[in-house]
Amino acid sequence: MKKLILILLLIVNVTLSAQLSLWSDFEDGTLQEWTNTDTSETLLTVENEADFWYLHKECDGSNSAVGEMAIINTSDEWVGNHWYEPSTGETALAAVHDIRMRNTNNYDIHLRTGITGSNGFQVVTTTPLIVPALSDWTTYELPPYGVYWLGMTNLTVLNDTSGMTALEIYANVIEMFEDVIEYRVIHNTDIMHNGEVVSGFLEIDEMVSYWLLSTDDREKRSFALAPNPTNNIFSITSEGPEILAIVIYSPSGKKALQPEVSASQRIDVSHLSSGIYFVHIESEQGKEIHKLIKE
C-alpha cells in the first residue's frame, strides 16, 4: 500500500485495479520486481550513488535476454487495468510521465515503452525518448501516448492486423489496456517490442506517473514554481490567493520539507537529493500540487 501514496497525493476518487501505480524509485534497495525479459535477474542490480539508489543493467552483447537492453515488470503495480476515471464522464489512460536516468554509453539510448495485454495484443511507443550518449543524471518527460475513438497517439500495434477493421483494432487495444500483463522499458532505434542486443548499461533512478483530476484541473493553476528545475532555491509566484501552507513530498509520500510561509516564498532545497518532488500548496481556494525537479 505504501506506493499508492503517490497516487493519493495527486488524485481523489480514482478507480484503479489492485495496486497499479506505474512508479519505481528503487529506494528500498531492491529491483522492485523489474527483471530481464526472460524474468531472470542476471547482471541486473540496484546500486547506490551518494544518497540514492538506482537500477543498473549490464548488457553483455550476447543474443539473449541479458544482452538485450530491456527490462520488464509483471507486478500488480505495473499491470492490470490502465484505464481510470479522473472525473465524472471522463476516461483516461495511465502512463509513465517522467523518468530520471543517465547514459554512460557512447551511443544514444532510444527509450520506448512496450505493453502486452492478456488478449495477446502488443503495442510500443512510436516516438522514443532520446537520451544522449555520455549524459549525466537527468529527469526527462516521456513522449505521451493515448487512445481515442478509432485511433491512437504515439502507439504502434505490433500484431498482424491484416483483415481487421479499424473498429476491431480499436476494440482490441482497449481490451489490452484493460488487462495489461507486462510492462517493459526498452532501448531500440526501431519500432519493436524487443530491446536491441548491445553491450552497455541501462541505468534508471526513478519512473513516475502523475494521475490528475482532469484537463480543466491542470489548466486552472493559481501558482507557479520558478526556476524549475532548480539546483538550490526556487520561488512560488501567485496570481492572487494567499498561501496558507507549503509541504514538499518525495514520490514515495515521505515529507521532505515543510518551509515556513513568507512574503517572498523563496524556498531553499539545496540539501535535498536530486530527483522529483511534489510541492503541495494550500490556499484559501484549496490545494494545488506541482512537480518540482531538483537537479
Mind listing the pLDDT tens digit for each residue in 64-82? 999 999 999 999 999 999 9
Do the beta carbons of residue 273 and residue 49 sit within 8 Å? no
The class of domain 221-294 in CATH terms is: mainly beta
Provide the pLDDT for residue 50: 81
Average pLDDT (193-214) is 86
Mind listing the pLDDT tens digit for each residue in 100-157? 999 999 999 999 999 999 999 999 999 999 999 999 999 999 999 999 888 899 999 9
DSSP codes, 31-62: -TTEE-TTS--TTEEEEEETTEEEEEEEEE-S
Provide the pLDDT for residue 144: 93
Domain 2-208 belongs in CATH node 2.60.120: yes
- Cα separation, 153 vs 46, in Å, equals 33
Average pLDDT (195-205) is 98
Do the beta carbons of residue 58 and residue 201 sit within 8 Å? yes
Q: Among 32-41, 141-150, 281-290, which stretch is predicted with the lowest mean pLDDT?
A: 281-290
More confident residue, 68 or 248: 68
Do the beta carbons of residue 181 and residue 118 sit within 8 Å? yes
User: Which residues have C-beta within 8 Å of that of residue 238, sequence separation ≥ 6?
Assistant: 222, 223, 265, 283
Cell numbers describing residue 159: 500484431
Read off the amino acid at residue 17: S
Q: Residue 99 pLDDT more than 80?
A: yes
Cell numbers describing residue 288: 494545488
Q: Where are the domains of the chain?
A: 2-208, 221-294
Summary mean pLDDT of the chain: 86
**Residue 11: band (very low, low, confident or very high) from pLDDT cuts 50, 70, 90:** very low
